[in-house]
Structure 1
C-alpha cells in the first residue's frame, strides 16, 4: 500500500476559499451512502490526469466541490492532481495543467478519478496499470471520467461492474471489454466505484457526492451557484434522441449503435421492433430520407472514422470492430463515403 507523503503539497490541488461568515453546515443526508464515507473532513480526492484528458470534465468535477467549501464555511473537500511523472499534462484542448505530484509519490486518498478523453490509451503502460491495481488493493475507490474507464478496465478492475463513459467511445469499449457492463448514462455510482460520461456530467456526479455526504440543502445551494438544471438523473441519456418525435425510430437507432461490431440483419432489426421489412423501410424513409441499410452503414463508418482518428488500432482491427468481414470490404465502403482509403485518411489527419 502506498503511504502518504510527509508534508502536504502546496498547489492547486486544494480549495482554500472557505468563508467563515457562511451559514452553518447542513445536516447529513440520512439516506445510506453507497460509497464508504470519509473517516474525517476534509475528504480528499485524487485526480489522475492522462495525456489529452478532458479539461471540461475535470473542472466540472472540481468546481462543485470548491463551491461547497465556500458555502459551508468549511473545507469539506480537498483534491490532488496527479500525473505519471509529476509534470504538467496537456489536455485535449491544448492547455496544460500542473500536477501536484507524480503517481509514485501520490498520497493515499479514499477515492481517485482517472481523467481521460479522446486518446484513452495514451499514457497507459504496465507501470500505470500496476499502480492502479495497488491503489485498488489498498482500499481506494477508483472511478473514471469521460474515457477514464479504459485504463481501469485494462487493469482488470472493472469486470462484472456497471460503468459509463462518453457515448462516442461506448462501442469500442464494449468490444474490447465484454466483461464490463458499459451503459449510456450520465454517471454511475456503485459499491465498487464511480464513473461519468465526461463534460457537464461530471457536475452531476459531484453534486451527487455532495448530496450523499452533506445533504440536499447544501447541494441545492451549490446547484444554484452553478445555474445547473436539476432535471437530469444518473440514468438520463447523455444526448438528445436524433428523432424525438418517433420512439420506434429511436429504438431502431439504439439497436444499431449497440450492434456495430456484429450488425443485425435488417429483417432481424424489423422483427425486434415489431415491424415488417417494408414497415421499417417506410419508417426510415419518412424520418431520415434514406434506407435503414444505408443509415446503419453510415453509423458504422462514423464509428470507424472516430477510431482511425483517436486510436492506433490497425485498419483490420477497426474493420472488425465496425462490423466488416475484411479490411478490403471496409476500405471500399470507406472510400465510397470519404473518397480516401482508411490508411490515406489517417495519414492526412
Structure 2
C-alpha cells in the first residue's frame, strides 16, 4: 500500500487529517541507536507549530516516521521506537524534507550507510532536501551525498569527520548549516533552532516560534552560537597538529574523569614525552596545564551559569575533594568560587 494513500500517522492517531495540504512536510528517519534528545526536541517543535492550539493536529506542518522496515528502532538510551512506515511504502513526493537522526557511534553510522543508500539517493533524485542530525552526517558523507557541502559536525566528532572525509568542509562553529538541498545539524538542542529556521521559511516566523514558552525556552540562538561552557574556541582544534586535536577532543570528553596524562597518552598511542613535545610546539603549553585550564574554565562557567553545588561542579571537573578544588580554582583565577559568587551578586 503506497503511503500516498495513507494520511499522516500522527494525524490518524489524534483523529484529525488536514483538509488542505500542510505548508511543509517532514519525513523523520531515526537510525539505530539514534539519540533521543535531538529527535524529541525536533519533533516537539514541529508539534507546537502544527496547529493554533496544542492538539498535535498536523495542519500547518506534518510529519511521518519511517525506517528500513516496520518494527522497533532502539535509541542510544535503550528506548524502543515503533516504526510503522517502511521505506518501500514511502511516497517521497509527499515530503519536503527527509530528516535523518544519527546514533552515538560515528563508525556504526558509516557501516550502515549501504543499507540506506538506495532510499536516500532516491530522495535526492526526487528533489527532496536531506537533513542530517548529529552523526547522521557520517552516513550521508559515506554515500557521497554531502560532497561539495559545508557540514555542521558535533565538536566531539570533528577530528574523526575530518580524518574520514578530508575533502569536505566540516564546521563545528555552527549549530547547523544550510547548503542548498543539504542541511546538517550538530545535534542536541540545536535542532530546535534548525526546526524554527525551516518552519519560518514556509509557515512564517510567528508560527515557527510558537510554543517556545511551553518548552521553557526564553530566546533562540543564532546558527553561529558559541558554546561558552566548553571554554576557548572549540573550532580552532582542527587547525592544530592531528595529535593535539585528538588530545583536546579526548580531554573534553573526559573532563570529569581523573585520567593522568600518561593514561591519555596511551589512548593516543603516544609517549608522554611525544605528547608534551607536540603541545609545546603547537600551543606553547604542556598538556597537563592545558587540561587544567580547560577544567577550570568549565568550572568557572558553571559557577556563573548554574545552581549546582560546589561539590557537583568539582566532580564535573574530576575533583573529589571540594576544598582542594577551591584551592586550585583560586590559584588559577586569583579568587575563590565563593568570592566569584559574591562578585556575581
Please state which band the TM-score falls in when normalised by the shorter chain: 0.5 to 0.7
**Which stretch of structure 1 is more off in the superposition, 153-162 or 202-211?**
202-211
Structure 2 residue runs without a partner (length 5+): 246-277, 296-345
How many residues align? The count is: 254
SS of equivalent to 1:88: strand
Report the counterpart of residue 64 of structure 2 in structure 1.
Answer: 80
| Cross-structure match for 2:45 | 64
Query: 5 Å matches for 1:6-25?
Result: 6-8=4-6, 11-12=9-10
Deviation, structure 1 residue 15: 8.0
User: Separation in 2 of the partners of 1:58 and 1:68?
Assistant: 16
Any conservation in 2 of the 1:115–1:145 contact (CA below 8 Å)? yes
Distance 1:213 1:50, change over 3 A: same
- 1:48-78 C-alpha deviation (Å, 9 max, x unpaired): 1111001111111111111112327871111
Aligned equivalent of 1:240: 228
1:199 and 2:188 matched: yes
TM-score, normalised on structure 2?
0.64
Question: What is the SS of the residue equivalent to 2:228?
Answer: coil
Do the aligned partners of residues 241 and 64 (structure 1) sit closer, same or farther apart at CA in structure 2, a change above 3 Å counting? closer
| 1:130 and 2:118 matched | yes
Cα deviation for residue 209 of structure 1 reads 1.6
Higher-RCO chain (CA-CA 8 Å, sequence separation at least 6): 1
- Partner of residue 255, structure 2: none
Q: TM-score, normalised by structure 1?
A: 0.63
User: 2:145 is matched with which residue?
Assistant: 157
Deviation of 1:83 (Å):
1.3
Provide runs of 4+ in structure 1 moved above 6 Å. Answer: none
Distance 1:6 1:220, change over 3 A: closer
2:132 to 130, 141, 144: 144
- Taking structure 1 as reference, are residues 186 and 199 closer, same or farther at Cα in structure 2, changes over 3 Å only? same
For structure 1, the residue ranges without an aligned partner over 5 or more in a row are 21-38, 244-249, 271-276, 291-349
* More helix, by proportion: 2
1:153 and 1:289 mapped to 2: Cα distance? 31
Q: CA deviation at 1:119?
A: 2.4
1:112 aligns with 2:93: no
Look up the SS of the partner of 2:223 in the other structure: coil
